[in-house]
């Protein structure tokens, strides 16, 4: 599964990133969904605009109309490639996309989304409600259902109310002591955790209880192979160009 599209190949959480993920051969893409200041669901990871767009301000105070003018290539250019960044800069598919635009793009590309609900403060339920209500209007019933994940249990509870038939995944940085109760309570299909803290016995326990196990964000082939050997079902990666040819299938 590509992470924020394919974060190392194109600016994260943009349509360009979804296209890069598809070109690298993944069938799923993860991205983060947040509400703008005027309540519109867009793809964005941080509460502030600076890292990816260079603009000042907070997402929960910025209306969609203002966000539309911003270019989201800054972090990619600084971290990965100045030369590729120059090519991406100013491209229409490198702006902050709405969830609706993204759904149309993924349908064209034949990709299935892992929608991570990433609420700003106080909007855990509302972010899930708005995002999933919109997405359900657009996502055809004959396509594989989106997977909805979140670190926020309140967001998953809201997802269950709005989209009970779409699978849910609980995210965690560390393996939670109450994993069994939480996954049952939220009626999850999967558990997703930080790859470096993933232990073989915990993967086995979660899988024996009937859930899929995903890990983020794995960018090396050797690490990916070790995780698959531990029984992990899904590697969420910034580098599908490396991991798909080496490990898929």
For Mg ion, which is the closer residue by CB, 32 or 71?
Answer: 32
**241 binds Mg ion per the rule CB under 5 A:** no
> Phi then psi for 83, rounded to 5 degrees?
-70, -50
Rule CB under 5 A: is residue 116 a binding residue for Mg ion? yes
**Closest CB to Mg ion among 173 and 181?**
173
Give the integer Cα–Cα distance in Å for 245 and 110. Answer: 19
Tell me the backbone φ, ψ of residue 147, rounded to 5 degrees: -100, 130
Comparing C-alpha atoms, which of 31, 3, 235, 237 is closest to residue 150? 31
Q: Determine the straight-line distance between the first and last CA of the chain, rounded to whole angstroms.
A: 13
Residue 103 binds ligand G3P, judged by CB under 6 A = no
Q: According to the binding rule CB under 6 A, does residue 18 interact with ligand G3P?
A: no
Site membership for ligand G3P, residue 26 (CB under 6 A) = no
In Å, the largest CA–CA distance within the chain is 48
Closest approach, Cβ 32 to Mg ion, in A, equals: 4
User: Does 238 sit near Mg ion (CB under 5 A)?
Assistant: no
Tell me which of 60, 116, 129, 238 binds ligand G3P, using CB under 6 A.
Answer: 116
User: 219: number of CA atoms within 13 Å, CB side?
Assistant: 8
C-alpha to C-alpha distance for 178 and 45, rounded to whole angstroms? 26
87/194 with CB nearer ligand G3P: 194
Site for Mg ion in 1-60 (CB under 5 A): 32
Chain centroid to CA 121: 19
149 binds ligand G3P (CB under 6 A): yes
Residue among 133, 106, 152 at smallest CA distance from 39 = 133
Nearer to ligand G3P, 28 or 88 (CB): 28
Which residue from 236, 237, 239, 241 is in contact with ligand G3P, where contact means CB under 6 A? 236
Residue 172 class from Cβ within 10 Å (0-12 exposed, 13-18 middle, 19+ buried)?
middle
Residues 186-215 that bind ligand G3P (CB under 6 A): 192
Cβ neighbours for 207, distance < 8 A, ≥ 6 positions apart: 213, 231, 233
CB of 142 to ligand G3P, least distance (A): 26
Answer yes or no whether residue 216 interacts with ligand G3P by CB under 6 A: yes
Residue nearest to ligand G3P (CB): 216
Residues that bind ligand G3P (CB under 6 A): 3, 30, 32, 45, 116, 149, 171, 192, 216, 236
Residues that bind Mg ion (CB under 5 A): 32, 116
């Amino acid at each position: 599964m590509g992470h924020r599209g394919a974060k190392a190949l194109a600016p994260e959480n943009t349509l360009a990133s979804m296209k890069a993920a598809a070109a690298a051969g993944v069938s799923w893409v993860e991205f983060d969904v947040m509400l703008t200041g005027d309540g519109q669901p867009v793809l964005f990871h941080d509460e502030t605009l600076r890292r990816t767009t260079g603009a000042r301000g907070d997402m929960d105070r910025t209306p969609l109309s203002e966000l539309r003018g911003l270019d989201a290539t800054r972090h990619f250019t600084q971290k990965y490639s100045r030369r590729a960044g120059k090519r991406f800069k100013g491209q229409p598919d490198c702006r902050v996309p709405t969830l609706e635009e993204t759904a149309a793009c993924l349908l064209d590309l034949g990709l299935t989304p892992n929608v991570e609900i990433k609420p700003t403060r106080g909007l855990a339920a509302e972010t899930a409600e708005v995002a999933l209500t919109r997405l359900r209007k657009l996502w055809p019933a004959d396509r594989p259902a989106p997977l909805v994940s979140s670190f926020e249990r309140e967001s998953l509870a809201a997802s269950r109310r709005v989209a009970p038939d779409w699978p849910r995944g609980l995210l965690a940085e560390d393996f939670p002591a109450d994993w069994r109760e939480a996954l049952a309570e939220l009626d999850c299909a999967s558990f997703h955790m930080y790859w470096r803290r993933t232990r073989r016995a915990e993967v086995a326990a979660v899988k024996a209880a009937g859930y899929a196990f995903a890990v983020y964000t794995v960018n090396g082939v050797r690490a990916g192979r070790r995780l698959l050997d531990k029984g992990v079902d899904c590697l969420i990666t910034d580098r599908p160009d490396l991991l798909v040819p080496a490990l898929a299938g």
